[in-house]
């Protein structure tokens, strides 16, 4: 059941145990194959120093790599692999003025290269530019809040 090698890992044990627990719970609940799955986002809190954000991103990247290697090395099909709980992305949350999307951009190189999903909380207390930067600089596939989009007609059209 355990898709990860705990002894030879750069990732966090707690995150891996959560994945294993999710897999166990999903298998117990499933009556229909491929009906339920769960994945994790590593959440980055904006109140942290920027240099403290790098290990969070690296953990997500390392765990994503381990998951992909596990799928490949065990000849697991894409649809079966999707059912194995894993870290699928990053989330950035907290007060925007602490680490705006444009300021976080340089730290995201590894996440971009591994195609991690990105959920960014933006546009709650900052201008619409924060939402735009989250989309174009952090490759956000989901925006949390986005209230300031109402102030920018171009952004409203882009989002629509």
Handedness of CA 58, 60, 61, 67 (dihedral sign): positive
Q: Is 66 a catalytic residue?
A: no
List CB contacts of 29: < 8 A, sequence separation 6 or more.
36
Question: Which residues are paired to 143 by β-bridges?
Answer: 120
List, in sequence order, the alpha helices (H) in 30-137: 50-73, 78-82, 101-104, 109-113, 128-137
Phi first, then psi: what are they for 80, rounded to 5°?
-70, -40
**Which of 96, 124, 126, 153 is labelled catalytic?**
124
Give me the active site residues, please.
124
């Amino acid at each position: 059941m355990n898709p990860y090698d705990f002894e030879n890992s750069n990732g966090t044990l707690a995150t891996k145990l959560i994945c294993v627990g999710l897999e166990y719970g999903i298998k117990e609940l499933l009556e229909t194959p491929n009906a339920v799955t769960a994945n994790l986002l590593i959440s980055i809190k904006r109140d942290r120093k920027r240099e403290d954000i790098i290990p969070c991103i690296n953990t997500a990247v390392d765990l994503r790599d381990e998951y992909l290697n596990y799928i490949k090395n065990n000849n697991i099909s894409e649809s079966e692999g999707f059912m194995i709980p894993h870290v699928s992305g990053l989330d950035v949350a907290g007060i925007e003025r602490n680490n705006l999307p444009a300021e976080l951009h340089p730290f995201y190189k590894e996440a971009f290269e591994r195609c991690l999903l990105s959920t960014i909380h933006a546009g709650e207390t900052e201008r619409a530019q924060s939402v735009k930067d989250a989309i174009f600089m952090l490759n956000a596939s989901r925006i949390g809040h986005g209230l300031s989009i109402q102030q920018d007609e171009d952004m409203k059209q882009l989002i629509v």
